[in-house]
Structures are given as structure tokens and as C-alpha cells.
Structure 1
Amino acid sequence: MAKSTKPATEAPSVKLLSGGNPQIAKGYGDAPVQAYIAAMPDWKREVGQRIDTLIEQAVPGVHKAVKWNSPFYGMEGEGWFLSFHCFTKYIKVAFFRGMSLRPVPPGQSKSKDTRYLDIHEDDQFDEAQFTDWVKQASRLPGERM
């Protein structure tokens, strides 16, 4: 089989699922998360980049993966503390132990522990509050998925 002559920086085309969520193969590390973010449509890409940057700054050495077409963030050996997903009109951030955060993130869940933060295009994104939640969440036992 001949090797591809495409430059290493050229990303393959990515299928967007319902709601504009990028379909990215399951993978561990920064590369699949960056591929997901690069494929996020419209304004969501910039917000996804900002979420990723804030998490990296708040939790040095954070572990990343893409599972179920969503980026996951966690601590090595401790499980996952956060994920996000694109929907048609917003990005949904899941804090898996959100009921233990103070203040509790606003979005309710069917899961007793999970809380959500929905970010819409015209929302004021409170980076300080988000960063505080990320720091708190990273210190809690994570979800094993």
C-alpha cells in the first residue's frame, strides 16, 4: 500500500452527526480531542477550544480521550470528571460528580451525581466559575467508563 502524500497537518473530513456533533473515532490522548474540537461547527469550535484550554490550565497533566463522540477529561487512575458534547443550539458540559461541586452547576440530570452546564452561542461564559468547577471536579473520584 502506498503511503499518503498528504501533509501531516491536513485533517481528514469528519462526518457531523445529528445536532452537528462530530463523529470521531474512539481514542486516547490529546490528538483525538483536538480532532473533535477542529470538527466542531461554527461558534462551537471556538468555545470548544476555550473549554479545552481552561481545563489544561486548571488541571496540569489532565488525561483526555474521545468516547461516544465526545471529549472526556480525567485523572490517571481516577476516572473521568468531565465531558462535553455538541447539540444543535448549544454545547452540553457534563460534570460527572456535579452534585458535589459548589455551587452546583445549573443543569439537572437523570443521574443523581451528574450536573450539566449548557453553553449557547450568545451566553456569557463565566470562565472563572467554569475553572473553579473543573478544579473541584478533578479532585473528586472520577467515573469509570
Structure 2
Amino acid sequence: MFSKKLGFALGALVIFLAAVAFILGRPPHRDARIYPLVRHYSPFVVENGLGGLTIKRKDDPKFKREPDTVNFYTQLQALEQSWAKKHLRLHGNTLQILDDRGKTLKEIPLKKPSEKRFVEEYYGVKAR
């Protein structure tokens, strides 16, 4: 009933769509040294459940986001960027993490230009 060419074309289409979804759903590059240090102070937690990944806040039990797989990391990054506008400051080669009142919790020296570029691009924080 179906020709072999049609079967191969459908198979190739499925593989192509899976590859596109995989590429779009990849997380952005995160610096291996800086991101874990900042994440410790970030209010957002990623939980893995039966329905997929969920974004929750440590300080607000009512906050819960369940974006689809393709948009998960972009929504997580947008939430982290909105938090970073108030809680992260970049002074030269030093990253300051602030509390809700603006008091410095931790200062992280940035050792490489790539770390500074990561903070500027991922969190959207510009040097002052």
C-alpha cells in the first residue's frame, strides 16, 4: 500500500523534527564555576516530576511554572535575569550578590574574561 520511498521520507521527517526540537530545547551555555555559586543564592529551584521539569521558588511555595520542554530553559533564564537585575552587580572583575535590601552577601572575583562575558550575557548584568 505504501511505497518504501514514502516510508523513508516519513522516517527522515520524524528524525529531522526530533533534531530541531533537541537543538531548540538545549540549555544555554553556563559557566561551570560562576553559575553554581550564583545559583546557591538564586530563589529558583528546578524539580523533576512525572509531568516534566518544574520551576519553583524557595521563598514562595505558591510559585510554580511548568513550561513546555522547548521553552523551559528560556523561561528559567528570563526568571533568573529578572532576579539578577536587583540582586547582582558587576564592578570591574568582581561580581556582587545582594540580598533584598541591597546588602552584599558575597563577592566573587571573576578570573577570566569568559566569566565576565557569561555574567553579562546570561544574566544581563552590565559592568558599572
TM-score, normalised with respect to structure 1 = 0.25
The structure that is helix-richer by fraction is: 2
